Structure 1
Amino acid sequence: MISRQSATPLYQQIEQYLLQEITSGALVAHSRLPSEREMVKQWEVSRITVRQALNDLVLRGYLYSVPGKGFFVASKQEQPNEFAALLSFSEVAQAHKQVPHSRVLKAHMIPASATLAYQLQISPGTEIVELERLRYLDGQPVGIQYNWLPHSLCREILENDFSAASLYGLLREQYGHQLAQGRMTISARLATEQEASYLALPQPGVVLTVDQITYDIRQQPLEVSLGLFHPQRYPLSVIHGQHETQLAGL
């Protein structure tokens, strides 16, 4: 059922298996999943691994939890066609059967500005990681993404190849961070000459902008990001759920 020889993380293998069971109808709406303890025993993995798979499916709208009772399958009417903000660009692309790729424009350390320090709840001048990537789907440029993270939370993360690596995947798997919430502002503005060139936009062209701060389960800021997206090639859709509103596509 799951393979420890696979390059796919164990939690993602469990998530994919459960998703297949849900979409095939083997797990029907409002049926209760086995307990976390039972799944730990079944797959011989840690409870953290099982919880990550379950939490991701909750964020994607395929499961819901009832305190003290466990996890249940959401009805088809409740299941989204899009995905939540806390999924990576690569995960969203693969769910849409598209091929993601990134061109790294910047990957280095910088001192935190006053604004970034305030957002990340650190002191100005603290060493942070800055990433700038041009995002592609099926060979077409669709967005420019900036990410800023305290280096103390992800030591040596720049040793990874971010043309292929998932930032959120690394934060979860390599550093053990549990991404719990993304707070964002969506807007639009005219693209600069450089942005228009990267995204193959006519001038004057418009980009969709998404500012986001991502938090862990303790409400500690993990990352600040800015996404600039081609409005036709990468439209953003908002999912309204019972408890929160989620952005698809970041």
Structure 2
Amino acid sequence: MTNNIYWTLYKDYAEQIDTGILQAGSKLPSENELAATYQITRETVRKGLNLLAQNGYIHKVKGKGSFVLDTGRLNFPVSGLVSYKEMAERLGRRSRTFVYETKCVPAGESIAKELQIRPDQLVWKVIRAREIEGERIILDIDCLLADIVTGLTKEITGDSIFQYLEEELHLKISYAKKIISVERATTMDHDYMDLGNDTHVVVVRGYVHLEDTTLFQYTESRHRLDKFQFVDFARRESNVEHWNK
């Protein structure tokens, strides 16, 4: 239970920032105060604060504390590793998920290449459309190693795969490599998304790894061009030592 409380801390403060309860420049309570409030360790508090920082909500100043940054609620962050369910909550928009496919199949040549496995190795293939404010504007195609991920159902994929992996299978998801490109829309894009006359989509390819570095998930998240701006929050590390060399 304690391991998940940092998500509660993250969501609590992300919501307060998104809704304007906490304004840009506001200072968050200290780590000791947050630890007392949530009845957790300072290490767990730091995990929540680090996630807020990674997603551009706060700036941590050494020796001074954590301060709220000016952030837009419709930004779709490139960095960070969160589920769509968590992202939808952050966007604060009415949303639904349509599950078109959840099945265990041989990977085939193209997916095997992405996951670095044999073509006959089994994977879960999941196809879902995301509807926001009445329009299907995201198509997610996920492929997960079946020897690591077990027991997927349509009910699970309609809710949150990441939540199932972490809370039920106790997998430790660590990091992902992401590649973003603009590509011509496919027949599947037109069938499963409300593209209108659009001819291209933004494609975010993700390669997700466990804590032991195992690549276990390949995903294509295909977005309608006019609905998102993809934002990364960059920090410049001090180069004082470098310049003084």
TM range (shorter): 0.7 to 0.9
**Cα displacement (A) at 1:196:** 1.9
User: Equivalent residue for 1:171?
Assistant: 165
User: Equivalent residue for 1:96?
Assistant: 91
Secondary structure (helix, strand or coil) at the match of 1:125 reads coil
Query: Greater CA deviation, 84-93 or 103-112?
Result: 84-93
Q: Which amino acid aligns with 2:206?
A: Q
Alignment of 1:78-117 (within 5 A): 82=75, 83=77, 84-117=79-112
Closer/same/farther in 2, CA of residues 180 and 108 from structure 1, 3 Å limit: same
Aligned-CA RMSD value: 3.7
Q: Which residue, 202, 205, 220 being the options, matches 2:199?
A: 205
Q: Give CA deviations for 1:151-199 in whole Å, capped at 9, x if unaligned.
A: 2222112263423x11222223223333332212211222234422432
Gaps of 5+ in 1: 245-250
User: Equivalent residue for 2:241?
Assistant: none
1:12 aligns with 2:10: no
**Cα displacement (A) at 1:98:** 0.5
**Cα displacement (A) at 1:141:** 0.6
User: Equivalent residue for 1:219?
Assistant: 213
Gaps of 5+ in 2: 238-245
User: Equivalent residue for 2:232?
Assistant: 239
Q: TM-score, normalised on structure 2? A: 0.73
**Cα displacement (A) at 1:133:** 0.5
Query: Greater CA deviation, 42-51 or 185-194?
Result: 42-51
Query: Greater CA deviation, 105-114 or 10-19?
Result: 10-19
**Cα displacement (A) at 1:145:** 0.7
User: Equivalent residue for 1:192?
Assistant: 186
**Cα displacement (A) at 1:65:** 7.1
* Aligned residue pairs, count: 229
User: Equivalent residue for 1:73?
Assistant: 66
Partners of 1:190 and 1:46 in 2: CA distance: 49
User: Equivalent residue for 1:247?
Assistant: none
Query: Greater CA deviation, 41-50 or 107-116?
Result: 41-50
**Cα displacement (A) at 1:33:** 2.0
Q: Which amino acid aligns with 1:187?
A: S
Secondary structure (helix, strand or coil) at the match of 2:32 reads coil
User: Equivalent residue for 1:124?
Assistant: 119
Secondary structure (helix, strand or coil) at the match of 1:24 reads coil
User: Equivalent residue for 2:129?
Assistant: 134
Q: Give CA deviations for 1:23-57 in whole Å, capped at 9, x if unaligned.
A: 626x955975239xx83x76456899756534432
Secondary structure (helix, strand or coil) at the match of 1:195 reads helix
Q: Which amino acid aligns with 1:61?
A: G
Residues 94, 100 of structure 1: 8 Å contact kept:
no
Residues 153, 222 of structure 1: 8 Å contact kept:
yes
Partners of 2:47 and 2:165 in 1: CA distance: 12
